[in-house]
Amino acid sequence: MIIENMEDIAHVWLISENRFIYFSPAIERVHGFTREEALGLHWKELIAPESMADHIKYTGARYIQAAQNNFLKKSILPEYNEYMGLRKDGSRIWLEENIFYLCGENGKPTHSIGISRDISSRKQAAAQLESKYTHMQDMVREQSGQLSELSTTVKVLLEQQESFKKSYRKDLGSFIAGMVMPFVEKLKQSGLNKHQLSMIERIEFSLNDAVTPIARKLTSGVSALSPTALQVAMFIKEGKSTKEIAEIMNLSPKTVEFHREKIREKFGIKNQKANLRSILNSME
């Protein structure tokens, strides 16, 4: 018989006598009881106390469903029930069970038939994945906090450089190179995801260019560029395409093209074929 060779446990419970009348051979592999031993057990002896209430609720609901002949109707009951089972040595195993009832001529259930599957390995794998996911979330929160702290520091530094201008520019450059850049480099090597790494590279790029001659030229005068346009200009200078700049800065390509036009207007080459990257590089 196929049922005798199944990996899952098949069992039949005789309701009128309140006892098992059949177990497939898999009972010994899963629960540790021989078939003869298992036939002498009450079903409650195979279920861990912590799962008892839920299991009774599930089987009771299936019984009522059978008595009302509702198995062919839409039901809110789950097809399978997961519960913690007991082995002969007292250890726990996770099982997935499907129970249905056979009814007599009077319409009342006479037998319950169940198929149980050992899902302990699946549960353990799921628990390990959940643990790893939680650990990754903790790392992301920690790194996000570091990024936020770094971004705040950078904002303060960039605001200060306007007030200190010439006398402070060299000191600012030294501070960024000696104090901030090592921290940035450390973050880049700390297992950031792709999005976080792009953010760090954006911050690093902005810091490197904050004290260069081109940055000072583009942010001075009546037609000074906005901070966003300045960043676009720096990426153009490095040879980045509109698509690449849009992805790095989290902008739409249309917005990047708008800033490109503003930069060309700054240099008086709007509607001309002059190479913007070449002009930006010539300003060093």
The structure tokens listed for 267 are 């240099």
Partner residues linked to 116 by β-bridges: 9, 97
Residue 121 banded pLDDT, cuts 50, 70, 90: confident
The structure tokens listed for 137 are 């979330």
Number of domains in the chain: 2
Distance CA 175, CA 5 (A): 74
Residues 153 and 76 in one domain: no
Which pLDDT belongs to residue 64?
77
Final residue belonging to a domain, choices 97, 118, 139: 118
Average pLDDT over residues 28-50: 93
> Virtual CA dihedral for 204, 210, 212, 214, nearest 10 degrees?
110
Q: Residue 113 pLDDT > 60, yes or no?
A: yes
- Helix H, strand E, coil C: the string for 104-153 is CCCCCEEEEEEEEEECHHHHHHHHHHHHHHHHHHHHHHHHHHHHHHHHHH
Q: Residue 153 pLDDT > 60, yes or no?
A: yes
Which residue type occupies 109?
P
Residues 232 and 131 in one domain: yes
Which pLDDT belongs to residue 28?
93
Which structural domain, as residue segments, surrounds residue 43? 2-118
Which pLDDT belongs to residue 267?
80
Say which DSSP state 47 is in.
B
Final residue belonging to a domain, choices 118, 153, 182: 118
Residues 259 and 223 in one domain: yes
Q: Which residue has the higher pLDDT, 123 or 145?
A: 123
Chain position carrying tokens 């060299």: 170
Partner residues linked to 83 by β-bridges: 95
pTM of the model: 0.42
Which pLDDT belongs to residue 219?
57
Residues 42 and 163 in one domain: no
